[in-house]
Amino acid sequence: DHAVAVFTSGGDAPGMNAVVRSVVRCGIHHARDVFAVYEGYQGLVDGAGKIRKMEWTDVQMMIYKGGTVIGSARCKEFREREGRLAACKHLVDRGITNIICCGGDGSLTGANIFKLEWASLLEELRSSGRVTDAQAQKYANINIIGCVGSIDNDMVYDGTLTIGTDTALHRIVDAIDAVQSTASSHQRTFVLEIMGRHCGYLAWAAGVATGADYIFIPEAPSKHDDWESVLCAKLDHQRKRGARLCTVLVAEGAIDKFGKPIKTEYVRQVIIDRLGHDTRSTILGHVQRGGYASAYDRFLGSVSGALAVERLLRTKPEDASTIVGVKGYSVAFNPLVETIEATQMVAKHTEQLDFEAAIQARGKDFKRHWAIQ
């Protein structure tokens, strides 16, 4: 009979609202009290009006919306034990021991730390009289499930896409299509910067989907010392055989073979200086995150939220925390700790230019293999 809480944390991603709606309704369906925590971990730390009991109709008309209606925040206090102590107290006061966290690897790391620390937090609250012996006994364990909300698609797990990636990809492709019609009218070259932090998935997938001429992603830097010449030879060849427009996509984390960042503006200048193309650059920025959630992200968020609740209600105290992944028509529950560790290892190896090690750390997750090969 313990209550369920859901929150969104870290960068917002389209499809997070579908998760919240689905958790609320699935929890109510199972006769549980369901709370939405507003402003991510900040809401857990602050308590009071930021942890609100939800009714069925409170989540109507939100499945299609982008961003996150219940808010997200970066919260310094939750990184400290004092903040987590306050969060523990606020949850116990409301009888909440089932938590669904929708966020990126940072948010899920925080959730895992919270779970591991729960017993000692509770003991500190009990011994200082802030929770009763009965409460400490009843709420001795906390269950956590993660749903990965991130447009970057940077989680190493058994799941095809993270929640938000598909919408971002649609936005990017729409923007490139729009830019291409103006570029071809004037025989221009466009250099577009694509989000994704250390993950090149969005740039790579958008490049394939729009037939870009050149794509820079962090996972596969050019093998050439002088990548500028390779890029220009390619663009020159395209133009000479009649292409009226050229597009170059630069992932925000793109690097050269020495690990030096490749900046959009620099790429533009190289093309102007060496080829004389009429070259413009566009940083797509937050346009990529905005707007309505795509059909797939609504589906992904809804299925992930519902399955997270189903799983939580079957979780035993000794069970490890999991992350929900959806792959095709099946669902996989990935171990939370190992998944986060693998994700952070891939980021670290990529940063250190050790791509073989990054591939090893990816294990059976082939998303970035495709990009690299």
Annotated catalytic residues are 152
For position 103 contacting ligand ATP by CB under 6 A, the verdict is yes
For position 105 contacting ligand ATP by CB under 6 A, the verdict is yes
φ, ψ for residue 14, nearest 5 deg: -60, 135
| Closest distance of CB 184 from ligand ATP, Å | 35
Taking CB under 6 A as the binding criterion, the range among 50-58, 103-111, 285-293, 339-347 that sits at the site for ligand ATP is 103-111
Among 47, 62, 79, 266, binds ligand ATP (CB under 6 A): 79
| Closest distance of CB 195 from ligand ATP, Å | 10
Which run of H or E residues covers position 52? strand 51-53
Dihedral angle of Cα 229, 230, 233, 237, to the nearest 10 degrees: -170
Q: 181 near 210, Cβ under 8 Å?
A: no
SS3 state of residue 312: helix
For position 10 contacting ligand ATP by CB under 6 A, the verdict is yes
Q: Which residues contact 256 (CB under 8 A, 6 or more apart)?
A: 221, 222, 227, 262
What x/- string results for residues 329 through 348 when contact with ligand ATP is judged by CB under 6 A? --------------------
Distance CA 190, CA 182 (A): 10
φ, ψ for residue 164, nearest 5 deg: 115, -25
184: Cα within 13 Å, side-chain hemisphere:
9
Q: Which residue is at the shortest CB distance from ligand ATP?
A: 106
φ, ψ for residue 364, nearest 5 deg: -85, 5
Among 52, 74, 130, 138, binds ligand ATP (CB under 6 A): 74
Strand pairing partners for 307? none
Total binding residues toward ligand ATP, as defined by CB under 6 A? 17
For position 75 contacting ligand ATP by CB under 6 A, the verdict is yes
Distance CA 115, CA 21 (A): 24
Cβ proximity to ligand ATP, 141 vs 344, nearer residue: 344
For position 195 contacting ligand ATP by CB under 6 A, the verdict is no
What x/- string results for residues 145 through 174 when contact with ligand ATP is judged by CB under 6 A? -----x------------------------
Footprint of ligand ATP (CB under 6 A):
9-11, 41, 74-75, 78-79, 103-107, 109-110, 113, 150
